[in-house]
Amino acid sequence: MRWLDVSTENCSVQAALDVVGAKWSMLVIREMFNGVHRFDEMQQHVGISEAVLSRRLRELQDAGLVESIQYREPGMRTRREYRLTAAGLDLFPVLIALLNWGDKHRAPVGGGSWQVRHRDCGEQVAAVVACPAHPGVALDHRDTVTNAGPTAVGTSNRSSDCQIES
């Protein structure tokens, strides 16, 4: 079966982008990975409007990536902090892949504005595609093959479990 014969109606990439593909979503997630959990700090650091940040946080909460936790400083009203859930934390490799790509293709000549390093040895981390049977061997698209998944539907609405020809 050819790629064009498989419907994209239930594509996992499309489903993921429905959640994190909106402008600002990954930047809000980046802030939480870097310890920024309060609305006003996030808004100021990212440079996002209150309305857009409120909408993104609500969407990320609805998608199960972010949870809201109440806190109260002495003498102040109750406010909220935002934390990544387990599903949100699973986006760490995606954030690193975007950072690596941005450093390689979009950063100024001197490098990007931030780096993520391994706490133990100090080396900069990288997102790598690998096969569990061959740890340590980085793969690129030429080393892989795409197969129809368990819920694949052909464009003619037939289910298929065969390999997709490139």
Measure the CA–CA gap between 62 and 78, rounded to whole angstroms.
22
Confidence of residue 159 (pLDDT cuts 50, 70, 90): very low
In a domain, 17, yes or no: yes
Residues 88-137 pLDDT 10s? 999 999 999 999 999 999 999 988 999 999 999 999 999 999 999 999 99
Domain that holds residue 117: 11-143
In a domain, 67, yes or no: yes
In a domain, 6, yes or no: no
Q: Please answer whether residues 98 and 26 qualify as being in contact, where contact means their C-beta atoms are separated by less than 8 angstroms.
A: yes
- Collapse the DSSP code of 103 into the 3-class scheme (helix H, G, I; strand E, B; otherwise coil) and give the result: helix
Measure the CA–CA gap between 44 and 27, rounded to whole angstroms.
12
Q: Please answer whether residues 85 and 67 qualify as being in contact, where contact means their C-beta atoms are separated by less than 8 angstroms.
A: yes
In a domain, 39, yes or no: yes
In a domain, 43, yes or no: yes
Query: 41: domain CATH number?
Result: 1.10.10.10
Q: What angle do CA 135, 138, 142 make, to 5 degrees?
A: 125
Q: Please answer whether residues 95 and 112 qualify as being in contact, where contact means their C-beta atoms are separated by less than 8 angstroms.
A: no
In a domain, 165, yes or no: no
Look up the pTM and report it: 0.86
The average pLDDT across 11-18 equals 93
In a domain, 151, yes or no: no
Number of domains within the chain: 1
